[in-house]
Structures are given as C-alpha cells and as structure tokens.
C-alpha cells in the first residue's frame, strides 16, 4: 500500500511538472539588433517618431540605426535658397543620440526631391550650390552621422549614367566631386554610392561596380556601396546576391543593404507572406555571409508607414511588422 501511494505521488509530481512546462509561455525573441554584429536599421519619418508612442517603442527596441526617410533630402532641408529647415532632421538625429542609435544620412545628391530653384542656376552656380549643400549639411552633423549616401541612383537600368540635372550641367565628374567635398566636410563618415536594382549582377550593377573601381583607382573616397534591395514576390529573388555583395567588398569598400522591403500583391495571405519571409531571410543571410556587409536597413519597419502602396498600386504589406506592429513571418524567419 505504501509503495502504491509513493508511486501515485511520483506520477502526480511528474504530471505537475508536465503541466507547469506546458503552461510556461515561450520566451520572447531577442531584438533584431541583438542577434547580429551588423547594424540593423530602419528608415524613419519624423512625424511618426514624434507622435506615435508604440512606433517609437518598437523602433527603439528592435533597431540600432536609423535613416531619415525624407528629412535630409535637399528639398526638405533647403526648399528656398539659403533658408534651411533643420527641425525634422534634427529631431531624428537627437532621438538617435539620446537612445544610442547610429544614423545613416540620406541623401546628398539625388536626381529626385531636390529644390526647384536648382533648375534656374547656371552650371557654375549649380556646382557651387552642390558643394555648399554638401558642406553645410555634413558640417552640421559632423560626428553624428555614421555613413552618408553621397550620390543616389545615378544609373539607368541599362547601366548608362542617368541624365540628371547634375550630369547635364556638371558632366560625369560631379560624382567624384561630391565624394571629395563630402570627405572634406566630415572625414569620419563612411561615404556611399547607393542604388536600386543592383542586387544581382547585370548591366546596372556591373556599371556601378566599374564606377566604384575606377573612382577608387583615382583616389576618390568612395568607401561603401549601398544596395537598396526593394524586392517584389512577383519576381524571383536576385540570383547571386551574396556573390555580388562580395565582389564589391573585394574592391575594398563596405557594403550595406540600405532600404530593404519585399512587396506582395494584395491582399496578403499565408502563402504570400511565407514567400516574403523567404526573400527577407535570403537577403539577411547574404549580408551575414559577407564580412564587409556592415548594415541591414529596411525602408520602414511597419506597413503602417510603408511607401509601397502609394507607389505600386495593388501592392503592399512590404515590411517586417504589420500596421499594428505585430511581427510578420518575415520577422520570425530572420529571428526564430
């Protein structure tokens, strides 16, 4: 009888242990910034940062780098010649400094979102304006910006240089000049060329590769190559992405994924979200595998503020978190 009681006591104790184990909640995944030695960043709109507490909390928890989404573009900073509006850009930089985040500056010279008054300048005036803009902005944030997208989207899809206002009036040499002026303004910042649709080896990425190679041979301080990585599940994942990152790294520059998102045809469903997760995971793994891939930044982290629906009708849900800031399968695929 005593043995029976002991046996039942043991069974009950074991059952209690099992019940306790089954009821224990799964531990929360660590933040993305804590699972890699790379910077993990997001583009950030100043209004959301200022006005949405849940947005700010998630950003602070998950990321250790921020990129001003529009606040440092020329048209935002200097809509009227000589009249700068620093408030929004300053708010993001101040947030980063107060919360131990690094900042990616975006962007100094771009064919889009520049102020209209540039169109009225002569070649000489435009050259002086570009130099002054780079010097003024970078000097203001000297020591506070880890890396800058100095020139952005300078290539057409066929690999030719984009016929922007800068190329039209200043010639191809404006790219080298921009890097030289940037290095003079903030010697400590890493200086990048940044573009989209360069994730696989083809005409556009080959042209960027040859330009980086040529500029470095000339002593131009190009120190990084940014791969925006705006992807769509309608198309295949870029073949040879890791090898492409590596060949740029072999030129002696850092490489970074600077604007990642993966858009899907709406409405989202489980299969589409799973494919999106595959793409994010492959991009993440490619960066982790390349020693000089120093950053994985997404172009916004929540569908609440994604640029995609406004640019690609019928597409969206492109971010790691949904509109309610709930992690999506892409997040848990990267951070299981």
Amino acid 19: pLDDT: 29
Residue 259 designated active-site: yes
Arithmetic mean of pLDDT, 31-55? 98
pLDDT at residue 39 tops 90:
yes
Q: Is the peptide bond before 267 cis (omega within 30 degrees of 0)?
A: yes
Q: Is residue 9 part of a domain?
A: no
Note the pLDDT tens digit of each residue in 253-311: 999 999 999 999 999 999 999 999 999 999 999 999 999 999 999 999 999 999 999 99
Note the pLDDT tens digit of each residue in 66-87: 999 999 999 999 999 999 999 9
Arithmetic mean of pLDDT, 135-140? 98
Amino acid 23: pLDDT: 30
Residue 153 designated active-site: yes
- Report the b/e string of 111-121 with b at 16+ CB within 10 A: eeebbeebeeb
List the one residue out of 143, 139, 138, 140 whose CA is nearest residue 109. Answer: 138
Cβ atoms 314, 266 nearer than 8 A: yes
Q: Is residue 11 part of a domain?
A: no
For the chain, what is the mean pLDDT?
A: 93
Amino acid 2: pLDDT: 37
Q: Is residue 214 part of a domain?
A: yes
Return the residue matching tokens 């107060």. Answer: 98
pLDDT at residue 92 tops 90:
yes
Arithmetic mean of pLDDT, 180-189? 98
Return the C-alpha torsion angle 235, 240, 242, 247, nearest 10: -130
Amino acid 238: pLDDT: 98
Instruction: Note the pTM of the prediction, 2 decimals.
Output: 0.91
Arithmetic mean of pLDDT, 50-61? 98
Q: Is residue 13 part of a domain?
A: no
Amino acid 28: pLDDT: 79
Return the residue matching tokens 């089954």. Answer: 22
In which domain, by residue range, is 103 found?
Answer: 27-334
Report d(CA 95, CA 152) in Å as an integer.
25
Report d(CA 169, CA 266) in Å as an integer.
42
Amino acid 4: pLDDT: 36
Return the minimum-mean-pLDDT range out of 2-11, 97-106, 223-232, 246-255: 2-11
In the structure encoding, which two tokens stand for residue 25, read together?
Answer: 């909640």
Note the pLDDT tens digit of each residue in 217-257: 999 999 999 999 999 999 999 999 999 999 999 999 999 99
Q: Is residue 132 part of a domain?
A: yes
| Residue tagged active-site, from 69, 78, 223, 259 | 259
Which residues pair with residue 152 across a beta bridge? Answer: 110, 194
Say how many C-beta atoms besides its own lie within 10 A of residue 93's C-beta.
Answer: 21
Arithmetic mean of pLDDT, 155-174? 98
| Residue tagged active-site, from 62, 71, 153, 223 | 153
Report d(CA 283, CA 232) in Å as an integer.
13
Q: Is residue 71 part of a domain?
A: yes
Arithmetic mean of pLDDT, 175-182? 98
Alpha helices in 186-269 (DSSP H): 203-217, 241-249
Question: How many domains does the chain divide into?
Answer: 1
Report d(CA 189, CA 212) in Å as an integer.
17
CATH code of 211's domain: 3.20.20.80
Which residues pair with residue 254 across a beta bridge? Answer: 224
Q: Is residue 130 part of a domain?
A: yes
pLDDT grade for 109, boundaries at 50, 70 and 90: very high
Q: Is residue 308 part of a domain?
A: yes
């Amino acid at each position: 009888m005593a043995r029976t009681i002991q046996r039942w006591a043991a069974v009950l104790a074991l059952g209690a242990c099992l019940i306790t184990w089954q009821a224990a909640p799964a531990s929360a995944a660590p933040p993305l910034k804590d699972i890699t030695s790379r910077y993990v960043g997001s583009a950030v709109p100043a209004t959301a940062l200022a006005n949405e507490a849940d947005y700010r909390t998630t950003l602070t928890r998950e990321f250790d780098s921020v990129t001003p989404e529009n606040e440092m573009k020329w048209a935002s900073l200097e809509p009227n010649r000589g009249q700068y509006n620093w408030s929004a850009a300053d708010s993001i930089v101040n947030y980063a400094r107060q919360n131990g985040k690094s900042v990616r500056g975006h962007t100094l010279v771009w064919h889009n979102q520049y102020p209209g008054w540039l169109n009225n300048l002569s070649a000489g005036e435009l050259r002086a304006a570009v130099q002054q803009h780079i010097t003024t902005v970078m000097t203001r944030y000297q020591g506070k910006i880890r890396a800058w997208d100095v020139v952005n989207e300078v290539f057409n899809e066929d690999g030719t240089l984009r016929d922007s206002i800068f190329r039209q009036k200043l010639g191809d040499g404006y790219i080298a000049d921009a890097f030289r002026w940037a290095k003079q303004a903030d010697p400590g910042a890493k200086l990048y060329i940044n573009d989209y649709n360069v994730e696989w080896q083809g005409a556009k990425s080959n042209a960027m590769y040859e330009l980086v190679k040529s500029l470095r041979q000339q002593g131009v301080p190009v120190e990084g190559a940014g791969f925006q990585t705006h992807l769509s599940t309608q198309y295949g994942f870029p073949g040879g992405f890791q090898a492409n990152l590596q060949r740029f790294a072999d030129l002696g520059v850092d490489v970074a994924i600077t604007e990642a998102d993966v858009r899907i045809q709406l409405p989202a469903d489980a299969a589409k979200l799973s494919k999106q997760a595959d793409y994010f995971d492959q991009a993440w793994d490619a960066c982790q595998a390349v020693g000089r891939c120093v950053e994985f930044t997404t172009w916004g982290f929540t569908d609440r503020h994604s640029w995609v629906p406004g640019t690609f009708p019928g597409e969206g849900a492109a971010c790691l978190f949904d509109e309610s800031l709930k992690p999506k399968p892409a997040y848990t695929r990267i951070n299981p």
